[in-house]
């Protein structure tokens, strides 16, 4: 029998489709967005917004990071962006263990390659990782603005929280930073974000 | 106000999350898979299976094609792979109109670039497009084999239909072709596919 050693990984990642995020989808009966379709949307948005990157990025590496960045949620679950610091620290440990397990399903060399790439994304120190992470964080701004404040309004999020979360854009993609500033001010005026 | 001309496109594509496919998800209460999370899964699988490509492919172009390939379903809907030929011809016209409208939401030059890439995917003549399309078609083989035949069993699909649909693999990724042959024979033995 022909063996495809990647098959276990391909099967495993199917589970990301069951990981629910706080964001709800206006086009699909307000069901919660899952992390697989979110990853697709971030990847596609990053492609379309690549020219806004201030530093040179390898968009192929950016897209790859985005496609894999949420896989750890299969074990660790999704944490709402504005949970407390202690929760985030515990989550980081869970996510590292998850990354080792899930990329460990791949042939050794391939698994190591993607584990390293995931760690690079998490550290957010290279241009590619910083841009990838910025895309992951800015997409909900587009989505919530289109959806009367969406998850912000429900969770009583403030403008400052959104700006803090997107602060990387200042150096990473300044025009998008301006956009986020203006859009979140608009959201405050509309009562979708706390001032 | 800062304008981000890609915003309309980023908002529009959110709708792909509401397009349902025939395949059901065992990890999420057997709900139907949608085309956005499917696109993510195909892109990630293509990354992991890139080394099986017999001809040289530019995996970055392959992934980009995969990320955009189903967007036309926002207007045209998803058609089950084994619908009749007349249905497929009508669907092609709808999809072309959809591609023009949806990529037309982007700035002109960018929109033209992605429309061309989508047309290249549809034509399936270049190595990149053939591999991208082969990945789109082989992923449900992995999924249905993991799910007791899944959508095959429900729709009384035959082994020959799956082989015909994946025939590009013979030249595109011969080891995956062998795998599909063996797996579908196994599926016949288990009663998941008609012989």
ipTM summary value = 0.97
What is the average pLDDT value for chain B, to the nearest integer?
A: 96
pLDDT in tens, A48-94: 999 999 999 999 999 999 999 999 999 999 888 888 888 888 999 99
The nearest alpha carbon in chain B to A74 belongs to B27
Contact A11 B67 (CB under 8 A): no
pLDDT in tens, B22-32: 999 999 999 99
Contact A64 B48 (CB under 8 A): no
CA distance A172 to chain B (A): 16
Q: pLDDT-derived band of residue A99, with 50, 70 and 90 as boundaries? A: very high
Q: In chain B, positions 34-53, which contact chain A (CB-CB < 8 Å)?
A: 34, 36-37, 39-41, 43-45, 47-49, 52
pLDDT on residue A158? 97
Task: Measure the CA–CA gap between A150 and A42, rounded to whole angstroms.
Answer: 17
pLDDT on residue A115? 98
Question: CB distance from B17 to chain A under 8 Å?
Answer: yes
Question: CB distance from B144 to chain A under 8 Å?
Answer: no
Contact B49 A6 (CB under 8 A): yes
pLDDT on residue A27? 92
pLDDT on residue A87? 85
pLDDT on residue B89? 87
Domain boundaries, chain A: 7-189
**B131: CB partners within 8 A, 6+ apart:** B46, B53, B55, B57, B62, B172, B173
Burial B50-84 (b: 16+ CB within 10 A, else e): bebbbeebebbbbbbbbbbbbbbbbbbebbebbee
Joined tokens for residue B90: 């009508």
Contact B17 A36 (CB under 8 A): no
Contact A9 B48 (CB under 8 A): yes
Residues of A whose CB is below 8 A from B10: 41, 44-45, 48, 139, 142
Comparing CA positions, the residue from A2, A33, A1 lying closest to residue A16 is A33
CATH number at A7-189: 1.10.3210.10
pLDDT on residue B88? 85
What separation, in Å, do the N-terminal and C-terminal C-alpha atoms of chain B show? 62
CA distance B146 to chain A (A): 7
pLDDT of B81 over the 90 cut = no
pLDDT on residue B80? 82
Contact A14 B176 (CB under 8 A): no
Question: CB distance from A56 to chain B under 8 Å?
Answer: no
């Amino acid at each position: 029998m022909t063996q495809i050693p990647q098959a276990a990984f391909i099967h495993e990642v199917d589970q990301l489709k069951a990981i629910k995020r706080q964001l709800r989808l206006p086009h699909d009966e307000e069901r919660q967005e899952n992390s697989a379709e979110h990853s697709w949307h971030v990847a596609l948005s990053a492609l379309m917004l690549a020219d806004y990157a201030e530093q040179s990025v390898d968009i192929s590496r950016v897209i790859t990071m985005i496609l894999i960045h949420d896989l750890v949620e299969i074990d660790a679950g999704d944490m709402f962006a504005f949970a407390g610091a202690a929760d985030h620290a515990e989550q980081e440990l869970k996510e590292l263990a998850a990354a080792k397990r899930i990329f460990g399903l791949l042939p050794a060399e391939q698994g190591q390659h993607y584990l390293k790439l995931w760690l690079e994304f998490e550290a957010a120190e290279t241009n590619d990782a910083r841009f990838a992470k910025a895309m992951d964080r800015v997409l909900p701004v587009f989505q919530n603005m289109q959806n009367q404040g969406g998850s912000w309004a429900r969770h009583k999020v403030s403008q400052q929280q959104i700006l803090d979360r997107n602060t990387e854009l200042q150096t990473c993609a300044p025009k998008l930073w301006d956009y986020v500033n203006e859009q979140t001010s608009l959201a405050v005026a509309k009562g979708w974000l706390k001032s």
